[in-house]
Amino acid sequence: MQPQPPSSDQLRALDKAHLWHPFTQMQDWCAPEHEPLVIASGEGVWLRDTEGKQYIDGNSSIWTNIHGHGHSAINAAIRDQVDQISHCSGLGFTNKAAILLAEKLVQLFPPDTLTRVFYSDDGSTAIECACKMAIQYHQLDGQNERCAFVAFDQAYHGDTTGAASLGGIDTLHQRFSSFGFDTTHVRDLEQLKQLPAGMISKLSAIIIEPLIQGAAGMKLWPAGMLRELRLWCDAHNIFLILDEVMTGFGRTGTMFACEQEEVVPDFMALAKGLTGGYLPLAATLTREAVFEKFLGSQEEQKTFYYGHSYNANPLGCAAALANLEIFEIENTLEKLQGKIALLKTLLTEHLKPLGHVGEIRQCGFIVGIDIVRDKQSLTHWPAEQKTGAAVCLAARCHDLLTRPIGDTLVLMPPLCISNAELETAVTALAKSISLLTPDS
């Protein structure tokens, strides 16, 4: 006899017995009244739990999914690759999927700009790789002192020690802030320009999430800021690292956010959406001039000694290739423009008039909605009330799953969402926000 598959309740009990979830107060998670959803399957923008209930994936499974779950082309690409080989080392060998993907990634940027691709596993490692390349470049250039970084207040660049040291969100980053890279945080471009010359001369690179800071609460940079930052970096001969881990792959309406201000960075970090949100794979792209600085005989010790076991993982690369091909075959970006406009209309009609909606920020297909206790004075509920989380919990009853950042609701569905599904998602938020009172 086949053993019975575990029930939802058994799975939940086992989870509470053995798992430790990210960014999660496990005392709350393990409390008897908390019944976590166990996700069993996904199709398009829909996630299905073990009880058969369906929800729209309102935050693209934490900002990763691009063309929907279970896309036949990505599934087929992964299956096909599994049948050939799932993993072989990028150290000492190479593989077809990794080669073809690198060519395709490079072609997404203006000719002769970002010509080199270094693979790793996730956003944090893509960032650390860029930082180490920047530091080592300057060492090889005889400028050992140029090893510091500027990052922005409220920035989020990942959780490994180096990446976290670039972060500027106190709750997430303060505890370990004395470890990692030598990083100065600035509020904006004005503050950057006021840094003392002695400090500027020690900078290796400036890192930024272009157009929009994600974990900060979907905060938009002023238009033109990125372009101006690029010019400032050029004037001071400082590398510009763009963290497009969240914004990459169409999320802002263009393939990459930096296109909107005609900026090309010196290092580009890509992860989350790279594989369409199917597998962990990341890439750090850089310029030929950076790459060439590391060339020399073995004895010269210029080699970039960095890499992870799953470098150039064929499964991830095959998924990423399929992800990029879908953009071409399905005209994803072209179709997206109408959806971005519709999203704007839906937000204006259904959310803006509501009593407890403050600022709504939209960057392409990424939306942050501030909920406020009082619309006139923009006052908030006490943070410990977790009002944003309560609204998202309520939205589940209207078929939408998403996660807030404090009292900022996040809506960033997969790009493949239909107009009708988009309306369902926005009205689900509207219905849930409508339940709020000043005493919520």
Ligand X SMILES: *Cc1c(COP(=O)(O)O)cnc(C)c1O
Q: Is 158 in the site for ligand X (CB under 6 A)?
A: yes
Please tell me the distance from the alpha carbon of residue 344 to that of residue 360, in angstroms, as a whole number: 10
- Name the residue whose CB lies closest to ligand X: 123
Within 51-110, the residues that bind ligand X by CB under 6 A are: 63
Q: Mask 225-264, x = binds ligand X (CB under 6 A)?
A: ------------------x-xx------------------
Contact 206, 241 (CB under 8 A): yes
Nearer to ligand X by Cβ, of 186 and 257: the residue is 257
Among positions 156, 181, 256, 267, the unique one binding ligand X when judged by CB under 6 A: 156
Nearer to ligand X by Cβ, of 46 and 156: the residue is 156
Nearer to ligand X by Cβ, of 209 and 370: the residue is 209
Q: Of 362, 408, 366, 159, which Cα lies nearest the Cα of 249?
A: 366
Nearest distance from residue 302's CB to ligand X, in Å? 28
Among positions 122, 128, 266, 407, the unique one binding ligand X when judged by CB under 6 A: 122
Among positions 58, 68, 90, 123, the unique one binding ligand X when judged by CB under 6 A: 123
Within 302-321, the residues that bind ligand X by CB under 6 A are: none
Among positions 214, 253, 273, 413, the unique one binding ligand X when judged by CB under 6 A: 214
Please tell me the distance from the alpha carbon of residue 390 to that of residue 405, in angstroms, as a whole number: 12
Nearer to ligand X by Cβ, of 122 and 266: the residue is 122
Q: Is 128 in the site for ligand X (CB under 6 A)?
A: no
Nearest distance from residue 366's CB to ligand X, in Å? 11
Q: Of 339, 316, 321, 351, which Cα lies nearest the Cα of 416?
A: 339
Please tell me the distance from the alpha carbon of residue 400 to that of residue 55, in angstroms, as a whole number: 5
Nearest distance from residue 144's CB to ligand X, in Å? 28
Nearer to ligand X by Cβ, of 68 and 248: the residue is 248
Nearest distance from residue 56's CB to ligand X, in Å? 21
Q: Return the CA Rg of the chain.
A: 22
Give the interface segment with ligand X, choosing from 132-140, 152-160, 329-337, 341-349 (CB under 6 A): 152-160
Please work out the total of residues on this chain that contact ligand X, with binding judged by CB under 6 A: 14
Nearer to ligand X by Cβ, of 200 and 220: the residue is 220
Contact set with ligand X (CB under 6 A)? 63, 122-124, 156-158, 209, 214, 243, 245-246, 271-272
